[in-house]
Amino acid sequence: MLTWLWCRFRDLSAEDAYDMLALRSRIFVVEQKCVYLDPDGLDRHAWHLLGRDARGTLHAYLRAVDPGRKYEAPSIGRVVTDAGRRGTGLGHALLAEGLRRCEQTWPGRTNRIGAQAHLQGFYGRHGYVPVGEIYIEDDIPHIDMERPAT
């Protein structure tokens, strides 16, 4: 059972910001062996969803970038779960919570993402459909996907 925090960048505590950047780096840079600048300037223009256990350990995170910053539509990204919690359904719970919060924040809006191509099935289970062709970003195949407004 996780407790969810949904807040703007300016409202993150120093501990929250450190933990989210550490989790993102641990997975996206170290585990995936992808050298890139994770703090890309969009964190300041996003909502952040952090999932912590009862001891305060961060296990799940995503951000939802404001419309007009990455795409015209709001955009979920940096979706990440701790490696030790994979296969438990936590990723689906994280994305479902993120989509629920996006619907509250931007009612009636589509949501567009740039997904790692091998995760199309995961995102498809949450209503996303591919748009466009696969492209390479940071040496990893990606595809844009969109979830129609509900």
**Terminal-to-terminal C-alpha distance of the chain:** 27
Residue linked to tokens 């703090």: 39
Mean pLDDT across the stretch 67-89? Answer: 96
Residue 28 has pLDDT above 90, yes or no: yes
66 is written with which tokens?
């404001």
Whole-angstrom CA distances from 116 to 20, 80, 113, 134 are 20, 12, 10, 9
Residue 40 has pLDDT above 90, yes or no: yes
Residue 97 has pLDDT above 90, yes or no: yes
> Do residues 102 and 76 touch, judged by C-beta distance below 8 A?
yes
Say yes or no: domain 3-109 is CATH 3.40.630.30: yes
| Kind plus residue range of the DSSP H or E element containing 86 | none
Mean pLDDT across the stretch 16-33? Answer: 96
Residue linked to tokens 């689906």: 92
* Burial of 112 from C-beta contacts in 10 A (0-12 / 13-18 / 19+): buried
Residue 1 has pLDDT above 90, yes or no: no
What average pLDDT does the structure give for the chain? 96
Question: What percentage of the chain exceeds 90 in pLDDT?
Answer: 95
pLDDT category at 59 given cuts 50, 70, 90 is very high
pLDDT category at 150 given cuts 50, 70, 90 is confident
pLDDT category at 115 given cuts 50, 70, 90 is very high
45 is written with which tokens?
């223009």
Rounded CA-CA distance 112/131 in Å is 9
